[in-house]
Amino acid sequence: MKEDMLTTRTRGLKSPWLWVPSLYLTEGIPYVIIISVSVIMYKQLGISNADIGLYTSFLYLPWVIKPIWSPFVDLNGTKRQWFLAMQALIAGTFLLIGLTLPLQGFFVLSLALFWVAAFASATNDIASDGFYLIGLAQKDQAFFLGIRSTFYRLAMITGQGLVVILAGYLESTLMDNQKAWSLTLVLVAGLMLLLTLVNALTVPKEKEKVKTAGSDAGFLEVFRHFFHKEHIGMALAFMLLYRLGESQLVKMASPFLLDARELGGLGLSTSEVGMIYGTFGVIALTLGGILGGIAISAHGLRRWMLPMIIALNGPNVFYVLLAYGQPEGVFWPAFVVIIEQFGYGFGFAAYMMYLIYIAEGPLKRRITPSQRALWR
């Protein structure tokens, strides 16, 4: 049966139940460590809010621009080779970050390593998602969609919750934040290495690539096709700006929660912030994402685009109210995080659906009439 995308065949009868959970757990953990946990770490290591906001904001960039080099991943090597190599690289960079934290000049060194990990993680996403499409029949792709989403959310709980709580415990036990976070990153590196080994054992191997329609397109041809899409300038602007407000908020929210009250913050502990984001926040994020998908499937993206933009950016106002009121305890901060994370999950559904349309090309599966109907 001919397909209109580049395909590979897998050998062996390994059940997707063996590899889908670990593959998406391994996809989610680096993202949350690089984007969210790094902010808390730098705050607890004495980096100023201004430097945190400025320099860590750029760590988002690899995920925003990853469509640019995704054809290179599609055309060279196998998806399995790519994601195993990237996962091992991520484990190595996390280990080096942990070892650099006790050094002078750790901020520049660790930030450079986070950049390497960010590009490796974005490439891992490309390869993992690509393998999901070629490693499963279409009916299985639909069935395991909820499984991959569940384990990606578990990665969020692991990173924003368990890792941060562990770091907070080590801070209070060792009475040295640098040692605490150094040990935490070393342990995260060990977890990544373990997951990489699990994936190496459970993910089925790919046979040689099968030449199908579009597989003879070179990298430059795919690149040219992408940038000749109609209104591509507006599309790129949308991709770059849609999450801009949220990307800035996530860099300042944790420092704000952690800062002492006399400095304008709420004075929460590292463990309290980990508990808020890793439990209530992840639950709200998941519910928002589910409802966002239901809304788009019922009425189409066009109808829900503006409400989802508001849902993504509107909750920022509540952080302003927190800053003015500075309530004591964890109830109101947790309440605001729940609203913000729910809005993010709901609004992010529009962004993901838009990426499906913009990714259509010679190496991608053509959009089906049912998918196209979601744009109405």
Q: What is the pLDDT along the chain (376 residues), one digit of tens a residue?
A: 434 343 444 444 478 888 999 999 999 999 999 999 999 999 999 999 999 988 998 898 898 888 778 888 888 889 999 999 999 999 999 999 999 999 999 999 999 999 999 999 999 999 998 898 888 877 777 678 667 777 888 898 899 899 999 999 999 999 999 999 999 999 999 999 999 999 999 999 876 454 444 444 555 666 666 667 777 788 878 877 888 888 778 788 999 999 999 999 999 999 999 999 988 888 898 888 888 888 887 888 888 999 999 999 999 999 999 999 999 999 999 999 999 999 988 988 888 777 766 665 544 444 444 444 444 4
* Co-location of 196 and 345 in the same domain: no
* Co-location of 220 and 323 in the same domain: no
CB atoms within 10 A of CB 97: 28
pLDDT at 371: 45
CB atoms within 10 A of CB 41: 28
Write out the residue range of the structural domain in which residue 28 sits. 1-228
* Co-location of 221 and 246 in the same domain: no
SS3 361: coil
* Co-location of 29 and 165 in the same domain: yes
* Co-location of 163 and 224 in the same domain: yes
* Co-location of 293 and 224 in the same domain: no
CATH assignment at residue 48: 1.20.1250.20
pLDDT at 217: 54
Identify which of 312, 307, 244, 253 has the alpha carbon closest to the alpha carbon of residue 64.
Answer: 244
Residue type, 152: Y
Q: What is the reported pTM?
A: 0.79
Q: Which tokens hold the place of 33?
A: 């460590």
Task: State residue 206 phi and psi, 5-degree precision.
Answer: -100, 140
pLDDT at 376: 47
DSSP tag of 289: H
- Angle subtended by helix axes 331-358 and 232-241, to nearest 10: 160
Backbone Cα Rg of the chain = 21
SS3 367: coil
Measure the CA–CA gap between 316 and 327, rounded to whole angstroms.
Answer: 17
Return the sign of the alpha-carbon dihedral for residues 153, 158, 160, 161. Answer: positive
Instruction: Check residue 326 and give left, alpha or beta (phi > 0: left; psi -120 to 50: alpha).
Output: left
User: Of 201, 228, 255, which residue constitutes the final position of a domain?
Assistant: 228
* Co-location of 262 and 196 in the same domain: no
* Co-location of 224 and 238 in the same domain: no
pLDDT at 356: 64
* Co-location of 219 and 289 in the same domain: no
The number of folded domains in the chain is 2
User: Of 213, 228, 243, which residue constitutes the final position of a domain?
Assistant: 228
Q: Show the CA angle centred on residue 59, arms to residues 57 and 60, nearest 5°.
A: 80
**174-177 long-range contacts, CB within 8 A, separation 24+:** 177/44, 177/45, 177/46
* Co-location of 62 and 209 in the same domain: yes
pLDDT at 4: 39
pLDDT at 5: 40
SS3 88: helix
* Co-location of 128 and 23 in the same domain: yes
* Co-location of 208 and 334 in the same domain: no
User: Of 179, 196, 228, which residue constitutes the final position of a domain?
Assistant: 228
pLDDT at 142: 64
